[in-house]
Amino acid sequence: MSESNMAHTAVAISAPTPVVSVKPVVLSAPGRGEDLQVRVSAPATGHELPVIVFSHGFGWSLEGYAPLVDFWAARGFVVIQPTHLDSRTLNVTPDDPRFPEIWRFRVGDLERILDRLDPIEASVPGLGGRLDRSRIAAAGHSWGGQTVSVLLGARVLDSDGEPGEDMSDSRIKAGVLFSTTGKGGADLTPFAAEHLPFMNPSFAGMTTPTLVVAGDHDQSALSTRGPDWFTDPYFLSPGPKSLLTLFGAEHSLGGIPGYTVTETTDENPERVALIQRLTWAYLRSALYPADPSWPVASAELMESTDPPGRIEVKRREAHRAPPYRLDAGEGRAVDLW
């Protein structure tokens, strides 16, 4: 993949604006054992700003994912990032009595943010009165993706394969799932099945519009399957959904956790730039249906002569239209059924 061809997959977006970032904003969290700390990043100008709540991957914190957060906030989104209990900054070990339910604490963190938007908004100088609470999206990477998927309608299966409680939240209008784990059961390694039994989702009820982002070289040590495991949230959920598969990408998708992250095994700034533009475009169109950013971005990827990935779309349930795949190299939409 040449850098020039990656660069040509550009989305027409406005110039970045200055960003105000405040951390930590501390929210009381009785029963959690730790108050919830969040970071808020917002454009310095603009009104009726849409919101993205972002859930980090295992071990990370509100300090991570700057390549995404900086890009989104500079282009019109208010981004709110919690530090979950599994963060390395908090040192909650598997021996901690909270650990077996830590996935629930994660979901609760995002719910608490949505419940406390008033004090969060008031904590950032100049942000008061500028949030659009009708346009809220949620995004997450890896374990953060599973956390977000629960709020989008996915449900964790119990040991008998029965779906647990519905924890979806209608305040969230769209989602982006980066490198999000697929179904459990026989698809988990023995270690994952024993120690991470909550990694057993059903996506059948995940009806919220969502973009799933997966790398075709992302091989998880927790799954007996290959990189296609990370496409389960797309294929096993009803529409409307989109899937962005990135060629050559591993779990960090080129480096979305940070600008200089040593654990990134597939560093690729051009791929990160592509993800920035495409996710921004998706969220703009998902939250503002008249906004053409996502169709335009999809068409640009489709028309590339050396595509960095492919986009598949299914929207039958939402629009009574067949899903299709955007094959960049062929320049046409392909019906999936």
Q: What is the pLDDT of residues 32-68, one digit of tens each?
A: 999 999 999 999 999 999 999 999 999 999 999 999 9
Q: Specify which residues 137 forms β-bridges with.
A: 52, 174
Which residue would you say has higher pLDDT here, 221 or 334?
221
Residue 5: the pLDDT is 42
Instruction: Decide if domain 3-335 falls under CATH 3.40.50.1820.
Output: yes
* Confidence band of 12 (pLDDT split at 50, 70, 90): low
pTM value > 0.85: yes
Round to whole Å and give the CA distance between 71 and 336.
33
* Confidence band of 333 (pLDDT split at 50, 70, 90): very low
pLDDT-wise least confident of 203-212, 229-238, 302-311: 302-311
Three-state DSSP state, 271:
helix
* Confidence band of 109 (pLDDT split at 50, 70, 90): very high
* Confidence band of 205 (pLDDT split at 50, 70, 90): very high
Residue 1: the pLDDT is 40
pLDDT (tens digit per residue) in 314-325: 976 443 334 444
* Confidence band of 256 (pLDDT split at 50, 70, 90): very high
Q: Which tokens sit at 110?
A: 């995002």
Q: What is the DSSP letter of 116?
A: T
pLDDT (tens digit per residue) in 154-195: 999 988 888 999 999 999 999 999 999 999 999 999 999 998
pLDDT of 6 above 50: no
Helix spans in 82-162 (H):
102-115, 117-122, 143-152
Q: Which tokens sit at 325?
A: 């795949």
Q: Which tokens sit at 233?
A: 């949230």
